[in-house]
Amino acid sequence: MSDIEQRIGDSFRAQGLMATLGAQLAHVSEGEVHIELLFSLALSQQHGYVHAGAISSIVDSACGYAALTKAPRDHEVVTAEFKINFLRPAIGDRFVAVGKVQSAGKRLSVCTGEVRAFTDSKPEGKVIALMQATIANVAKTA
């Protein structure tokens, strides 16, 4: 396991919300991170589909960690802002959020994210949400 995978794995396990949602870190590579979420009624909105907030949470984390793979040494990342479009209802057995770095600056990175929903009948998945996020690099305090 590479240093950055280790570092992102440690950080992910320190995020109480990811455990509360039941999200798993699924993939880490240079500039790209995947987070997976299984359907649960504990994540639902009023119609029983997954709440936009749970979808936003996993793709925000995926974008943030993607940015971290490109951040300067001794820096951490925080989400300055994001925008997310919900293309269709979050119906599925399993959801995968993919965050990708589009531009990595010294201070700010811009990432795009997408979330796919998978069901037995749609094993190839359907894109249900698109994100565009600005992530700030912050120098670590000793």
Contact residues toward its own copies (CB under 8 A) are: 11-12, 14-21, 40-46, 50-54, 56-58, 60-61, 78-89, 102-103, 107-108, 110, 112, 127, 130, 132, 134, 136
Task: Using the minimum distance from each CB to its own copies, give the nearer residue, 84 or 118.
Answer: 84
> Could you identify the residue written with the tokens 């001794």?
74
Q: How many CB atoms lie within 10 A of CB 86?
A: 13
Shortest spacing between CB 132 and its own copies, in angstroms:
5
> Could you identify the residue written with the tokens 């699924």?
26
- What number of helices (H) and strands (E) belong to the chain? 3, 6
- Are the C-beta atoms of 69 and 5 separated by less than 8 Å? no
Shortest spacing between CB 27 and its own copies, in angstroms:
18
Shortest spacing between CB 103 and its own copies, in angstroms:
4
- Are the C-beta atoms of 76 and 86 separated by less than 8 Å? no
Task: Using the minimum distance from each CB to its own copies, give the nearer residue, 45 or 119.
Answer: 45
Shortest spacing between CB 72 and its own copies, in angstroms:
14
Q: In a 3-state reduction of DSSP, which class is residue 14?
A: coil
d(CA 43, CA 34): 19
Task: Using the minimum distance from each CB to its own copies, give the nearer residue, 27 or 86.
Answer: 86
Task: Using the minimum distance from each CB to its own copies, give the nearer residue, 1 or 14.
Answer: 14
